[in-house]
Amino acid sequence: MPPKNVSIRIDGELISAREDQTILEAATASGKHIPTLCHLAGLTPVGACRVCIVEAQGTDRLLPACTTPVHEGMSVTTSSAKLARYRRMTVELLLVERNHVCSVCVSNGHCELQSLATELGVTNVRFAFNYPKLDVDVSHPRYVLDHNRCILCSRCVRVCAELEHAHVWEVRSRGIHSRIVSDLNAKWGEAQSCTNCGKCVQACPTGALAEKGRAVEEMTKSSEKITSLARWRGAEA
């Protein structure tokens, strides 16, 4: 049985959506823009970054648009002063957690965290920076993992598991001690399961995963290739 259509309101506009869609999918399909960070079309949404939060009528809680399914009669607001405040704070907290120094980053100018901060008008950060001393893994012959730039969006984890089926990456530990880890905490270059495909690098929104030999501002990524690969695989199946 094909999924039913439901009617929802997004920012007051009446929209028809399939009942198996999320708020984000329905909004994107009707040309609305909701800021996202950990979401990458084609990968399973996890709601890790909380940047895509929206207000829904009937609840005081803010809902992540990427993981909340639509339902009949739903009324959603995608931009308001409250949402802007929460989204800005989320990005500020991401910025203070590790060392996001754009001026010396390979992804400067092509970074989704940077453009999101610009889009949300994050001109300053009101919290103290953590300045953790984190490792940079250069053991892989072609790629670099810089934990200082990682925002734990888990896109690399998902792309590797879902599209490459290698499952090299996972998140270890909890809270502030969480790190991206390959195999049993192996150096990336020594991870047996890695196929060197580089999908994780293309999926990474920041400069945490990059190709070797790129200087500042030189690391451009094409996450849209991940999306089209996922679509193509989906159509094939």
Residue 5 to residue 56: CA distance in whole angstroms: 19
Amino acid in position 39: H
CB closer to another protein, 52 vs 191: 191
In this structure, are strands 75-77 and 5-10 parallel, antiparallel, or unpaired? parallel
Q: Smallest distance, Å, CB 193 to another protein?
A: 6
| E strand segments, 52-99 | 53-56, 62-64, 75-77
- Contact between residue 11 and residue 76 where contact means Cβ atoms under 8 Å apart: yes
- Contact between residue 36 and residue 66 where contact means Cβ atoms under 8 Å apart: yes
Told to check if 174 binds another protein by CB under 8 A, we report yes
Give, as ranges, the residues between 180 and 209 that touch another protein (CB under 8 A): 181-186, 192-193
Told to check if 63 binds another protein by CB under 8 A, we report no
Told to check if 118 binds another protein by CB under 8 A, we report no
Q: Smallest distance, Å, CB 156 to another protein?
A: 11
CB closer to another protein, 15 vs 188: 188
Told to check if 137 binds another protein by CB under 8 A, we report no
H-helix or E-strand spanning residue 10: strand 5-10
Q: Residue numbers of the site for another protein (CB under 8 A)? A: 157, 161, 167-174, 176-177, 181-186, 192-193
